[in-house]
Structure 1
Amino acid sequence: MKLKRRTRYYVLRFVRLKANPHQVALGVTLGFIPNWFPTFGLGPILSMGLAKLSKGNVFAAALGGIVGVPLWPVLFWLNYQIGGLFHDKPSQVDEIEEVEYIEAINDTVESIQTGSEQFLTGAIMNILVSSVILYILTFVLFSKYRRRQGHNL
């Protein structure tokens, strides 16, 4: 029950932000970007820093960063799959169950021969596509909600 109430609280706080739709969409989008990389738990902090540097909404960035944390196995798997489309080498990871956090970090950091080139290519492509989609989706939804509530943009 507490989780449901807390979730509702943060959703209401999000939609009542005193920022314009561009700032909110930019914050959410920049907040989600660090989730594509192994950040050792520092993703939400990096998210807020990116938002502050780009004049996006920091609260929206924190939410964007936190939302992606439980998705990391899927995001890492997508990095390998998309990166594999651009490289001749077979994918380092074929199924989501094969994603191990430590191995993903080693493959990313160690050397180009272990799959980091594939991972980074996939991450860059995924960041580009997901950022455009997430920005547009957040901007449109936030704008519609604000108009429906009679807030000035």
Structure 2
Amino acid sequence: MQKEFSRIEKLKRLVRLYYLKVMRINASPHFIAMGVACGVFGGCFPFIPGLPLQTAIAVAAAFCTRSSKIAAAIATWISNPLNWLLFYYIQFKIGSFLLPMDVQFDPAKWAVTDFMEIGWQGVTILIFGGFILGIPLAAISYFFALHFVRRYRKRKALRMLSRRTKL
């Protein structure tokens, strides 16, 4: 029981560490939020073992939008080993609905090691589905990140002000 607790605590600490790294970027809230949106967009693409597709897409989008590359790279972790199968399932359903390709594939019974067995049509479906999924998720994440960055900075300013008035 103790090992599970420590793993959960480690995960919480890791999430908090990256949250604080994004919040402490010395830039405007819009710059950071756009970087997070680019990262979420890139994170919606399928993870291909050995190929940093998600990070490359996120950083390239951050360059194009002139936003935070660090926030973009961190935000790609929206897609992580804990939820890859869910993302693949949603991407495949969206892609196969919109593209007229017939690929026999069940993401619910699939492992990451089987990625290359679906062929290029299957990869195309996953990438297209990730693109379509990434657009609304990026827009939503922009507004969430903007809100959280502004709230974090407001609280930080209030803490600093209260410390100065106590002296």
| TM-score, length-scaled by structure 2 | 0.67
**Residue in structure 2 matched with residue 25 of structure 1 by the alignment:** 33
Q: Is the 8 A contact 2:48 2:115 kept in 1?
A: no
Q: Is the 8 A contact 1:76 1:104 kept in 2?
A: no
| 1:74 paired to 2:81 | no
Q: CA deviation at 1:126?
A: 0.3
Q: Deviations over 1:117-152 (max 9, x none)?
A: 53343222101111111112111221222233338x
Helix, strand or coil for the counterpart of 2:98? coil
CA distance in 2, matches of 1:120, 1:12: 31
Helix, strand or coil for the counterpart of 1:85? helix
Q: Deviations over 1:80-130 (max 9, x none)?
A: 11223335667744453x2332433443xx343xx3453343222101111
2:46 to 37, 41, 45: 37
**Residue in structure 2 matched with residue 85 of structure 1 by the alignment:** 97
Q: Is the 8 A contact 1:80 1:92 kept in 2?
A: no
Q: Percent identity?
A: 21
* Larger gyration radius, structure 1 or structure 2: 2
| 1:139 paired to 2:146 | yes
- Flag the 1:127–1:10 CA change in 2: closer, same or farther, 3 A: closer
CA RMSD of aligned residues (A): 3.0
CA distance in 1, matches of 2:79, 2:16: 18
Q: Deviations over 1:41-63 (max 9, x none)?
A: 52464134542453211221121
State the one-letter code of the partner of 1:150: A
Q: Is the 8 A contact 1:26 1:51 kept in 2?
A: yes
